[in-house]
Amino acid sequence: MKPRLKILLTACLPLLAACAHAPAPGALKAPPAALEADGTAPFDVKDLAASRAGAVQDAERAAVLRAAALYLDEEVRAEKAPAVEAALLRNPHLFVARHKVLSEGQDASFYRVRLKVWLYHARIASELRSLKLAGPGASGPRAAFALRGQPAPAFAAAFREAFGRRSPAVIEDFPFASDPALLAGPEEKLLEAAAASGADLLLSATAAAAPAGAGLNTGFFPSKADAAVKVYEAPSGKLLLELSNQASGIDPTQAASFAKALASAGELLGQEAASRSSRLLKQDAEVRLKFYGVEDLETAEKLKAQLLKLDARGVRLETLDQGSAVFLAAPRGTDMQELASAVLRGDSFGLVPEGTGAREAAFSLPR
């Protein structure tokens, strides 16, 4: 790096304070931002209004998906496209503030429109994060959960929910993890299937409930659940953790008492497995890249396209608000000044460097 550029990059560290922490809750109230989108619908000569409405809806759906793509790691975007569409396209109008028709008309057997669409993009990001498709954990390790032994749906549901809330790893529904033959066979076969499926972790669990004491005289059925889980690094087969616990339940019916005990055991074991395994997972350290002067989603799209050329993974938009965009990325190297230089080498905007910190860098778009 040239000395002059290096001095400039390190001279403005105070400017980075705003991007050195998680976005404030108010960031979800960011005003709508615009992008242009095209839409088509079959042309009905007898009902021009319906043709136009169909094309407008198609353009709005396209705009929503383009905005969502900004907040997604490209790998997650490719793998989870059906989930993204299911989450956002059921009611795309919820994410559209307004639109302006830029052009429209018949094109052969279709009616085409071009719109400028103002989107509640922060609402889109929030929806994606609620599904763990964006934000922390979205591009984390992929975990397979396999419940061996007798069925225990209350335990499984509670474990998965508790683990998912606290771990960077994301439990996915791999087909092999519900294969009766594999679940009943040796654990080595499960591990082989996990590795072959692309899972990073295998969570192999067992849970069972039984009566605890004589509750018939009181009208209640006390119960006790015993649960255990083994956490494996799937590709290597290495056992990372082996945990077990017990939990109690009580209810006027035995079935409900068992379910309560199993759910309690699942929640406790899921919390502990998430906490302890997170310390053992190797995660690429993320950095923040902040760009001042970003007013619309199309500019953010172009910036992301440039950042995708860096030697980094997990590139995605974190926030777009008040004229600035913050992107997350996990670069292969750890030298922030070299990363900032790489951003400038691939730049087509004429970016001005504003400063670097330990895990962040800032730039301004030319006015």
Among the three residues 278, 313, 344, which one is the final residue of a domain in this structure? 278
> Model confidence at 29, in pLDDT bands (50, 70, 90)?
low
φ, ψ for residue 192 (rounded to 5)?
-60, -40
Q: What is the DSSP letter of 64?
A: H
Report the distance separating Cα 322 and Cα 158, nearest Å: 40
DSSP result, 287-346: EEEEEET--SHHHHHHHHHHHTTSSEEEEEEEEEETTEEEEEEEESS--HHHHHHHHHHT
Report the distance separating Cα 285 and Cα 179, nearest Å: 35
Report the distance separating Cα 161 and Cα 158, nearest Å: 5
- Assess if residue 240 is contained within a domain: yes
CA nearest 145: which of 156, 155, 136, 154? Answer: 156
- Assess if residue 47 is contained within a domain: yes
Beta strands in the chain (DSSP E): 33-42, 96-107, 110-119, 142-148, 170-172, 201-211, 221-233, 238-251, 287-292, 312-321, 324-331, 352-356, 360-364
pLDDT, tens digit (0-9, with 9 covering 90-100), for 197-229: 988 899 999 999 999 876 556 678 999 999 999
Phi-psi region of 213 (alpha: psi -120 to 50; beta: other; left: phi over 0): left
User: Do both 211 and 260 map to the same domain?
Assistant: yes
Q: Is the predicted pLDDT of residue 20 greater than 70, yes or no? A: no
pLDDT, tens digit (0-9, with 9 covering 90-100), for 124-162: 999 888 877 765 555 567 899 999 999 999 999 999 999
User: Do both 262 and 298 map to the same domain?
Assistant: no
> Model confidence at 336, in pLDDT bands (50, 70, 90)?
confident
- Residue 138 has a CB neighbour count (10 Å cut-off) of 23
Q: Is the predicted pLDDT of residue 268 greater than 70, yes or no? A: yes
User: Do both 270 and 149 map to the same domain?
Assistant: yes
Q: List strands edge to edge, sheet with 221-233.
A: 170-172, 142-148, 201-211, 221-233, 238-251
CATH number, domain containing residue 273: 3.30.160.150
Among the three residues 130, 161, 183, which one is the final residue of a domain in this structure? 130
- Assess if residue 174 is contained within a domain: yes
- Assess if residue 70 is contained within a domain: yes
User: Do both 147 and 260 map to the same domain?
Assistant: yes
- Assess if residue 109 is contained within a domain: yes
Q: Show the domain range for 170.
A: 142-278
Dihedral of alpha carbons 76, 79, 80, 81, sign: positive
pLDDT, tens digit (0-9, with 9 covering 90-100), for 37-80: 999 999 999 999 999 999 999 999 999 999 999 999 888 788 78
The packing angle between helices 81-88 and 121-130, to 10°, is: 120
- Assess if residue 332 is contained within a domain: yes
- Identify the pLDDT of residue 130: 81
Pick the range with the lowest mean pLDDT from 230-244, 250-264, 281-295.
281-295
User: Do both 218 and 239 map to the same domain?
Assistant: yes
User: Do both 225 and 258 map to the same domain?
Assistant: yes
Residue 20, both tokens: 């050195």
Beta bridge partners of 132: none
> Model confidence at 22, in pLDDT bands (50, 70, 90)?
very low
Report the distance separating Cα 131 and Cα 84, nearest Å: 9
User: Do both 59 and 151 map to the same domain?
Assistant: no
Task: Please give the C-alpha separations between residue 188 and each of 6, 65, 281, in angstroms, as whole numbers.
Answer: 53, 41, 21
Beta bridge partners of 38: 114
Among the three residues 106, 130, 154, which one is the final residue of a domain in this structure? 130
- Assess if residue 60 is contained within a domain: yes
Report the distance separating Cα 72 and Cα 80, nearest Å: 10
CATH number, domain containing residue 42: 3.30.1660.40
Taking residues 348-363, what's their average pLDDT? Answer: 91
Taking residues 277-282, what's their average pLDDT? Answer: 73
User: Do both 264 and 153 map to the same domain?
Assistant: yes
CA nearest 329: which of 130, 65, 128, 74? Answer: 74
- Assess if residue 22 is contained within a domain: no
Residue scoring higher pLDDT (24 or 105)? 105
Residue 285, both tokens: 């350290």
Q: Is the predicted pLDDT of residue 187 greater than 50, yes or no? A: yes
- What is the total count of domains within the chain? 3
User: Do both 223 and 302 map to the same domain?
Assistant: no
User: Do both 156 and 271 map to the same domain?
Assistant: yes
User: Do both 126 and 243 map to the same domain?
Assistant: no
Contact 290, 355 (CB under 8 A): no
User: Do both 271 and 146 map to the same domain?
Assistant: yes
- Identify the pLDDT of residue 256: 95
CA nearest 313: which of 345, 347, 286, 344? Answer: 286
CATH number, domain containing residue 342: 3.30.70
